[in-house]
Chain A
Amino acid sequence: MTVKVQRDDFDVGAEIAALTAGRTDIGGVATFLGLVRDIAGGEAVSAMTLEHYPGMTEKMLADIESQARERWALDEILIIHRFGRLEPGDRIVLVATASAHRKAALESCEFLIDWLKTRAPFWKLEETGQGEHWVEARESDDEAAARWEEAPRKAAE
């Protein structure tokens, strides 16, 4: 398992190559790549600054990761989350899960990003034509994460 919290950009291809290097037991890798969008709530966004809680961030990501391992048979998990000032089109977050079979990889990838959105201590400050404002948490994100609590499941075949 690898958790990286960093200011720098990352290379998705290189990260996946590193995750699977020398492994012949992995049948599939699922990824979620989050990008900075140029519009939010109808307002043009020129940039955003991601603030986080050093220490707790790594702890929560490791906790989220271990929950995924309890639920699915996973060979590798990678979570990269950036902080600092980012512009539209920039990469923010990468979640990659590797498993023998696609179902475990795909489901656990969705689980990880849903949980990360409601549990990892990051906050986004958006810059718009109307000035700066903190992004508010969305109820739909809480609902997406809660869905996984209702349906705990055994490791996928």
Chain B
Amino acid sequence: MRILYFAFLRQRTGLGEETVETPAEVRDVAGLVEWLKTRGPGHAEAMRDVSAIRVAVNQEFAGMDTAIAANDEIAFFPPVTGG
């Protein structure tokens, strides 16, 4: 599974992206967030406030209850501020 981080999430995790193999019990975005928080203090800090995070699964906006699979590309970022 390919995980991407943008904006403050990239800064706090110290990573633009990482490839992870999640345990079988991680089935949706919410489960992934909880699992990612255990990867280190930077991850825990980045994902502390879930309400400040938006997510895309395979480049489509998704929610915390969206199901995920091993080959997905999952991106975490704050609400967008382009234009």
Task: Give the dominant DSSP class at B's interface.
Answer: loop
Instruction: Return the chain A residue nearest B56 by Cβ.
Output: A56
Instruction: Return the chain B residue nearest A57 by Cβ.
Output: B82
Question: How many B residues have CB within 8 A of the partner chain?
Answer: 16
Q: Cβ of A69: which chain B residues have Cβ within 8 Å of it?
A: none
Partner pick for B6 among A59, A113, A120, A121, CB 8 A cutoff: A121
Among B77, B78, B80, chain A packs the most CB atoms within 10 A around the CB of B80
What's the interface size class on A, roughly?
A: 20 to 34
State whether A53 and B75 are in contact (beta carbons under 8 Å apart), knowing that A121-B6, A123-B6, A134-B7 are contacts in the complex. yes
A104-130 contacts to B, CB under 8 A, are 113, 116-125
* Contact status B83-A123, CB under 8 Å: no
Q: State in angstroms the CA–CA spacing of A136 and B83 once bound together.
A: 13
Q: List 18 A-B contacts (CB under 8 A).
A: A51-B6, A51-B7, A51-B10, A53-B6, A53-B56, A59-B59, A93-B82, A93-B83, A118-B80, A120-B80, A120-B83, A121-B82, A123-B80, A123-B81, A134-B7, A134-B8, A134-B81, A137-B81
